[in-house]
Amino acid sequence: MSQRRPILVLAFCALAVAGLGLRDWPLKDGRAVALANGTLAPYGLSLAAEGPATLRVLPLPKLTLERVRVAAPDGAVLAEGERMAAEFDPVGWIAGRGMVGEIRLDRARLSPDLAAWSGPLTHLRRGFGAGAVPPRLVLAGSRIGDGDEARAIDLDVAWPLWSGALTARATLDWRGVPARLSLTRLRGGDLLEGRRSPFAAELAWEDGGLALDGTAALDADGEAPVTLAGRARFETQSLSRTLAWIGQDAPLAALAGPFSVQGSFETHGRAVSWPVVRVGTGNATLEGAGAFSLGAGKVPRLSVQATLAADRLDVGPLTGALLTLLGDGAAPVALEPLTRGDLDLRMSATEARVGPLTMDDLAASVLVRDAALEIALNRARLKGGVMKARLTLTKGADPAETDLRVQGGVDQIDLGGLMADLGASRWVSGPLQGTFVLDSHARDVAGLIGRVGGRVNVAIEDGALSGLDLADIIHRNGHLAPGALARRNGRTGFEKAAMVLRFSDGIGEIAEADLRGAGVAATLSGQVSLPEQRLDLVALLSSRQSAEARRGIRIAISGPWDDLTAQGRRSDADEPAIRVPTEARMPGGFHVPAVLDLPAPARAYAP
State the Cα torsion 14-17-22-24 to the nearest 10°. Answer: 170
**118 membership: H or E segment, kind and range:** helix 118-130
What does the buried/exposed string (b/e) look like for 337-370 if buried means 16 or more CB atoms within 10 Å of the residue's CB? ebbbbbbbbbbbbeebbbeeeebeebbbbbbbbe
Q: What is the pLDDT of residues 461-490, one digit of tens each?
A: 998 888 777 777 777 666 655 555 545 667
Residues 35, 55 contacting (CB under 8 angstroms): no
Q: Are 557 and 564 in contact (CB under 8 A)?
A: yes
Tell me which residues of the chain have a pLDDT lower than 50.
1, 9, 12, 14-22, 96, 98, 486, 546-549, 573-607
473: helix, strand or coil = helix
Distance CA 50, CA 69 (A): 8
Name the residue among 500, 536, 488, 540 with its Cα closest to residue 516.
540
Q: What is the DSSP letter of 116?
A: G
pLDDT in tens, 234-283: 999 888 888 888 877 777 776 777 889 999 999 988 899 999 999 988 77
Q: Supply the pLDDT for residue 38.
A: 72
End-to-end, the C-alpha distance of the chain in Å comes to 122
pLDDT attached to residue 546? 45
Which alpha helices (DSSP H) does 298-385 contain, by range?
316-326
Element (DSSP H or E) covering residue 418: helix 415-421
**What pLDDT was estimated at residue 362?**
93
Nearest Cα residue to 317 out of 278, 266, 283, 360: 283
- Phi, psi torsion values for 484, nearest 5 degrees: -65, -45
Scored b (16 or more CB within 10 A) or e, 170-206 reads: bebebeeeebebebeebbbebbbeeebbebebbbebe
What is residue 599's predicted lDDT score, i.e. its pLDDT? 33
Sequence-separated (6 or more) residues with CB below 8 Å from residue 222: 268, 269
